[in-house]
Amino acid sequence: MGDGYPAWLREVRTALSINSQVVLYGNVRDVFLLPAAHGWEPCDLQTGLHRVLADEGYPHLVVADAVAGLGVLPPDPVTAKAAAEVVQRDNKPPWGPWKEKDGPLGPLSDVIERVTGADNERSAVLIDFASRLILDPGRLDPAEHAFFARCDRLSRVAYPKPAGGDFRPLFNPVIWAVNNERDLPIWLTAGNDDIRKIAVPLPEFGVRETAARWLANALAGYRDANEEDQRALERRLAEQTQGMTLRSMMAIARLAARMRTPIADIDEAVRCYRVGVHDNPWRASHLRSRMQSATERISSRVKGQREAIQRSVDIVVRAVLGLSGAQAGGNVSRPRGVLFFAGPTGVGKTELAKELTQQIFGDARAYTRFDMSEFSAEHSADRLIGAPPGYVGHDAGGELTNAVRQRPFSLLLFDEIEKANPRILDKFLQILDDGRLTDASGSTVYFSETVLVFTSNLGVTAEEYQIQAQADPLHAPFTREELENRVRRAVEHHFVSNLNRPELLNRLGDNIVVFNFIDADTAAEIFDVLVSHIRDRLRAEHGVDLRLSDDVRRRLLDGATANLGMGGRGIGSHLESALVNPLARELFRREDLAGRTVTVTDLRHADGIWQVSLA
């Protein structure tokens, strides 16, 4: 057998003289390219095994399908008659669905014993879809246990022997095809040297490149392209289908042919296969025009964060152009963009994420937020990807995987990531590296069209800021450079020393965006914005035009900015306590306010209660 055969098939060939049974697990439902007279031929598992066995002198392969019944390869009458003499002695045709009411285990064990014990005749049996034979390999009923006990015994008493004119001692093998090696009872294979377990892997790059060359003839413009462009297409298709099966590659080729996708845009067919959406918002013409003025628009809503806004917009622009991670080459399946917002609390990290969502997708609600403080326990990972089969909530799926499946083009916000359990952070390694995640049901979800935003309060605490500010009231507690260094060192220390996850920090790279503390001027701007929100709400809900006297505004501003360590959130909290609550109390006592102008003329704080006077 030549080198063109997959390694797992070559290992099956080797096992014919060593092992009485073989367990194939993993990518067993894929299509495999085998060498043919004129290039390559796509074959399924059954056909590939039959070809290998035929090369070694096995005239037929008995296929025992756990669902469909008993068959034989090749499926011609002469072979079927010869194979029938091996598997059944009563001259009744054995082929077709299982007829026994009690299931296939009894007759299947008879077939296995007759094949393995056939004298002077080469034969082999493939138990296909063996994962469907039993419900739970850890909880066998008596009939199931008897079946596998018989198979265990047969694996140990069978021996290799010559057949006909072939004097080589070879087994008549039993070949199990399962999705996962744990789909069979552990005691059947553990410590049993007569049963060989062989993994059938996903196709590696060289195999995908060969498949791309074989599939490319069906793509529009491939035959007319020069050789250099053809080889470039083959490499791109192989790179973009990392982690996919050859069956998926064939589906992508069919999709590209139906869409008449030019070879230069083969990535569009791959993207469409992954997310199931033909339109690509990342290539929309209006997105580029929006991003050209995004810095100014965002700055009008997120105050005091000029450097953070510009840095974030640069990263998003890079994502729009598809250049994220371009320096690494190769894998284009990574998320479109990754940002790590680090800095004090209440300075606009979450607000900036919302504004970026508005600029990218035209809808500030097109983001999904995960409060990572809710994922501090190790078992809470089930909430992200779904509970394992058999556990409560398995059918519901995972919050993260469901969100991406429903909205493949979206922004994912992971708030206060430092509070998540380290085991959960490991999930992000696969997302940041491969742009995909497998949920508890085994389905793959692709993150290649998402933007990931992580936020963290690591760095300088509000208490440190207050101490520094009181020590030197005339100057900012930290320069921009000092703040950047402190925050970056804190982030690095957390991931490397506390979490022991330096690889996650490496995946984030230079995408750490440091936010400033709120200074007095910025606090005044935020104060005015929040007061305008209160005015707008009153006008919309009750038709009331709210005004503040100069003295009331000054006192509210002084109180709201007394502790800037809490950022904009502290300003909002003070306004709610000192203005909104007493204002609501006074307005509730009055009637017929629609169309009137209400002025707050006085503000008092007595016995722990704020009060206002209205005119």
Check residues 479 and 128 and name the one with the higher pLDDT.
128
CA distance 97 to 110: 15
Average pLDDT over every residue of 540-552: 88
Q: For 65-103, write each residue's pLDDT tens digit.
A: 888 889 999 988 888 888 888 887 665 667 888 876 667
Q: For 429-461, write each residue's pLDDT tens digit.
A: 888 888 888 887 778 888 988 999 999 888 766
CA distance 69 to 63: 8
Task: Collapse the DSSP code of 241 into the 3-class scheme (helix H, G, I; strand E, B; otherwise coil) and give the result.
Answer: coil
474 pLDDT more than 50: no
The DSSP secondary structure of 445-474, one letter per residue, reads: EE-TT-EEEEEE--S--HHHHHHHHHH-TT
Check residues 263 and 54 and name the one with the higher pLDDT.
54
Q: According to the model, what pLDDT value does residue 156 have?
A: 95
Give buried/exposed letters for 506-526 (b at 16+ CB in 10 A, else e).
ebbeebbbbbbbbeeebbbeb
Q: Which of 337, 559, 360 is nearest to 431 (CA)?
A: 337
Q: Which amino acid is at 40?
A: W
- The CA–CA distances, whole Å, from 450 to 189, 205, 427 equal 42, 25, 16
Mean pLDDT of the chain: 86
As beta bridge partners, residue 491 has: none
CA distance 326 to 332: 8
- The CA–CA distances, whole Å, from 303 to 291, 299, 310 equal 19, 6, 13
Check residues 126 and 612 and name the one with the higher pLDDT.
126
Q: Are 62 and 70 in contact (CB under 8 A)?
A: yes
The angle at the Cα of 33, spanning 27 to 39, to the nearest 5 degrees, equals 175
Largest Cα separation within the chain, whole Å, is: 112
Give buried/exposed letters for 260-269 (b at 16+ CB in 10 A, else e).
ebebebbbbb
**Residue 606: φ, ψ to 5°:** -140, 135
CA distance 248 to 29: 11
In this structure, what token pair is assigned to residue 285?
A: 């013409």
Give 43's pLDDT tier (boundaries 50, 70, 90): very high
CA distance 87 to 95: 10
Percentage of the chain with pLDDT > 90? 32
Check residues 487 and 461 and name the one with the higher pLDDT.
487
Query: Kind of pairing, strands 166-170 and 161-163?
Result: antiparallel
CATH topology of domain 520-614: Helicase, Ruva Protein; domain 3 (1.10.8)
Query: 440 CB contacts (<8 Å, ≥6 apart)?
Result: 382, 385, 386, 387, 388, 389, 394, 397, 398
Q: Are 416 and 455 in contact (CB under 8 A)?
A: yes
**Residue 205: φ, ψ to 5°:** -60, -45
In this structure, what token pair is assigned to residue 102?
A: 């009690």
CATH-assigned architecture of domain 285-514:
3-Layer(aba) Sandwich (3.40)
Q: Which amino acid is at 547?
A: R
The DSSP secondary structure of 385-420, one letter per residue, reads: H-PPTTSTTGGG--HHHHHHHH-SS-EEEEETGGGS
Return the top range by mean pLDDT from 181-195, 260-274, 341-355: 181-195
Residue with tokens 């959406």: 277
Q: Are 78 and 106 in contact (CB under 8 A)?
A: no
CATH number (3.40.50, 3.40.1130, 1.10.287, 3.30.70) of 7-200 reads: 3.40.50
